[in-house]
Structure 1
Amino acid sequence: MTLNLKDRIAVVTGASRGIGYFTALELAKAGAHVIACARTVGGLEELDDAIKAAGGSATLVPFDLADMAAIDKLGGAINERWGKLDILVANAGVLGTISPIGHVEAKVFEKVMSINVTATWRLIRSLEPLLVKSDAGRALILSSSAAHKCKPFWGPYSASKAAVEALARTWAYETQRLPLRILSVDPGATRTAMRAQAVPGEDPATVPHPSEVAAALMPLLGPEQTETGKLFLVREKKIVDYRMPE
């Protein structure tokens, strides 16, 4: 079934490359107006060109998620222009360093938590009032298998992704009587710059391209999707249901 997002407004963070870039492009192709957020202006401009070539529209918002005041202002700006928000894809994140926990520098740990956790909470706080104005608000929080595997040397990243899953589930349970639906998703191994940093020497051709992952995410963002508080996985270019313990 073709997803129809005509007249819907979507925010995507980390939209200048990787999964965020291609998710923003897929949303625009489906008819949504995309508010694309990222630090890299050049990547956002490339995205804008691709969206226009596909017949879609976007608003570019270049800022660093470490700028918490900018996140707060984002909600106000969206409210002033559109008065609502239909879709949030909280995709942006950082890896930090692959290192024993006791060797991680404080500034590295703090940055991972700031970008991956605190900024996600700040987005929720800023954008929830707009999402509940939609007749079918949808929020997708990007997680990782690291949240559950807790592999050696991945401590800060694993902890940050476990935290954002907890935020998403709590938020979902708090709003379950509203039309707003909130999910987490583990996109699996994907051919991104972060993956290259985390697994150096891996042949990128052996893992899915982010465009394939983005295409798999689309059914989770439409009005027809009614689940909330769940974690889904992308495996072999398909969405797989993963039921977390109650």
Structure 2
Amino acid sequence: MTDEKPLKDRIAVVTGASRGIGYFTARALAEAGAHVVALARTVGGLEELDDEIKALGGSATLVPVDVTDYDALNRLGAAIYERWGKLDILVANAGALGQLSPLGHIPPETWDKVMAVNVTANWRLIRSLDPLLKRSDAGRAIFVSSAAAQKCRPFWGVYSVSKAALEALARTYAGETANTPIRVVAVDPGPMRTAMRGRAMPGEDPETLPHPAEIAPHIVRLASPDFDRTDVRFSFRTGEISALGSAAA
């Protein structure tokens, strides 16, 4: 009988895990056998996730935290080291839209918040978790990005700039870990039925968009030890995997 749990005994951190892509990815990782360390600000959403994971026979550790609490991210790395001594999977999903506005009209506090969540928090996660990923036989770092990183449409400035910076961060990390067991992937979900998309496109019918649960199995595949490519971008919309430096499809 074959093992039906491809991520059995693997430890996964998922940020933004209380809803949307992070929620369904965390659930899918747990169903595949991983122990999920779920980070989010919303306690209720984390508790609902925990209930679902337990119902699937999986396990999770809930960490109610804002990813801009950088001291907490430092403590996260230390706690994971003390309990498991390694980390196999990081899914850096938490993100902020900010507001759609001409660049000159974006309030500085909005700009700073989006950069803190979308860029600096992910650098802090790398800083805290990189030693743990290097202790895995197949560390996987997956960053949820966006085609906005390349398209740079008018009025999407703060979000586009933050996602372009995130992809630069991912590319740099991929280069620095190329000779280690770590593999680095950026994921472009495309338009998806999430709360963030609803805020950006309030007139859009969400039922015309893919559900976040649909991308979760793909992220599980990218997190698997069997996926051995790095410095690449996965497009959910096209199903293509391309070099991170290339233009988005």
Give the TM-score category using the shorter length: over 0.9
Within-5 A mapping of 1:62-101: 62-101=64-103
Which contiguous aligned blocks of 4+ residues in structure 1 show a shift greater than 6 angstroms? none
Aligned to 2:46: 44
Of the three residues 194, 197, 200, the one matched with 1:198 is 200
TM-score (normalised: structure 2): 0.96
Counterparts of 2:143 and 2:195 in 1: how far apart (Å)? 19
Aligned to 2:243: 243
2:36 alignment partner AA: V
Counterparts of 1:245 and 1:124 in 2: how far apart (Å)? 20
Asked if 1:144 corresponds to 2:146, the answer is yes
Within-5 A mapping of 1:1-246: 4-235=6-237, 239-245=239-245
Deviation for aligned residue 1:235: 1.2
Deviation per residue, 1:167-224 (Å, 9 max, x gap):
0010011110001111111011110000000111100011100000112222111000
Counterparts of 1:122 and 1:69 in 2: how far apart (Å)? 9
Partners of 1:36 and 1:61 within 8 A in 2: yes
Partners of 1:4 and 1:31 within 8 A in 2: yes
Deviation for aligned residue 1:3: 5.8
1:17 alignment partner AA: R
2:191 alignment partner AA: A
1:44 alignment partner AA: L
Q: Secondary structure at the match of 1:197?
A: helix
Counterparts of 2:52 and 2:5 in 1: how far apart (Å)? 19
Q: In the superposition, relative to structure 1, how do residues 226 and 3 fare at CA in structure 2: closer, same or farther (>3 Å)?
A: farther
Q: Secondary structure at the match of 2:240?
A: strand
Partners of 2:37 and 2:63 within 8 A in 1: yes
User: What are the ranges of 5 or more consecutive residues in structure 1 without an aligned counterpart?
Assistant: none
Partners of 1:144 and 1:188 within 8 A in 2: yes
Deviation for aligned residue 1:242: 2.5
Counterparts of 2:96 and 2:115 in 1: how far apart (Å)? 9
- RMSD of the alignment, in Å? 1.3
Deviation for aligned residue 1:245: 3.9
Q: Secondary structure at the match of 2:215?
A: helix
2:242 alignment partner AA: Y
Counterparts of 1:114 and 1:244 in 2: how far apart (Å)? 22
Partners of 2:231 and 2:244 within 8 A in 1: no
Counterparts of 1:244 and 1:40 in 2: how far apart (Å)? 32
Counterparts of 1:216 and 1:206 in 2: how far apart (Å)? 20
